[in-house]
Chains A and B, each alone.
Chain A
């Protein structure tokens, strides 16, 4: 039996709760993939069993009360992006958020008026 004097956890052991413990070990989310700048909006639906939600789900949901993006949420809740994606996919599965693909801004597809608007906006900063 190891000595009781030795602490089990030290700095080298890393955080006590690894981020993916919040996702019960899942590293990939369910359902359709979504972009980093996809818009997330809470649907205000009621959840049948609030017990399925972790506190982190509720934090994410609070930030989605007004339309916001996946990255903005990750930054606001201060959880790694990969974890936030999984939490968002859970919420989507429960019908609590909708996630809309961004308007395409790939260079080949973006409309020039948008680009001119961006230029105008940048010059005016």
Chain B
């Protein structure tokens, strides 16, 4: 399509709207599966310096020995319209990856915390993170075969979540289910937007 091909020359064009959605959760909880179920999943790597202190210490010998780590992120895009694209970013929920979260959460519309009821504590840091930054989020419980079924209310109590915060069951392998997760998030963002501003 001709979009942008000649317009880049300076003619005003309709701005591309990129909606950023975050997907948080512990290792092995199904983030990659969920992104792949609903979007065109694409490779994305970050190579980041983890410790600045070691670089300072070692710089005295003239050879810098920096600790870098390559982190593969789950990155998916869903083109809803030519000028409206959803970007899904899934990264590990552990605190040591928060240098990425800080960047990703800038301008993010909302977040999905993907949880496994067998390891519910893995999602505490992510919930805490989004609450502190006032990023609207929902909790999606990926139902694994063989996991004991807890009720949504059990989980709400265990995670100490607001009664209005949506918690849904999902099957991260299913496209329909993954779509429902995103729809639930957007509906939640809309309902938050309707609330009068407190204070």
Contacts and interface: CB of A to CB of B under 8 A. Distances in A.
A48 B89 CA distance: 38
A27 B49 CA distance: 8
Nearest to A123: B183
B44 A107 contact: no
Interface in B146-187: 175, 179, 182-183, 186-187
A112 B47 contact: no
B22 to A, nearest CB: 11
A83 interface: yes
B8 A41 contact: yes
State which size class the interface on B falls in. Answer: 35 or more
B8 A42 contact: yes
A35 interface: yes
In this complex, the interface size class of chain A, counting residues with CB under 8 Å from chain B, is 35 or more
A80 B70 contact: yes
Given A105-B19, A110-B109, A118 B47 contact: no
Nearest to A78: B43
B30 interface: no
B78 A125 contact: yes
A105 B17 contact: yes
Given A82-B48, A107-B192, A36 B183 contact: no
Interface centre among B16, B135, B193 (most CB of A within 10 A): B16
A71 B44 contact: yes
Interface of B: 3-5, 8-9, 13, 15-20, 38, 42-49, 68, 70, 75, 77-78, 80-81, 84, 86-87, 89, 103-104, 106-110, 134-136, 175, 179, 182-183, 186-187, 189-190, 192-193
Given A69-B87, A118-B19, 11 more contacts: A20-B47, A37-B18, A37-B20, A42-B8, A80-B47, A81-B45, A103-B15, A107-B109, A119-B186, A121-B80, A123-B183
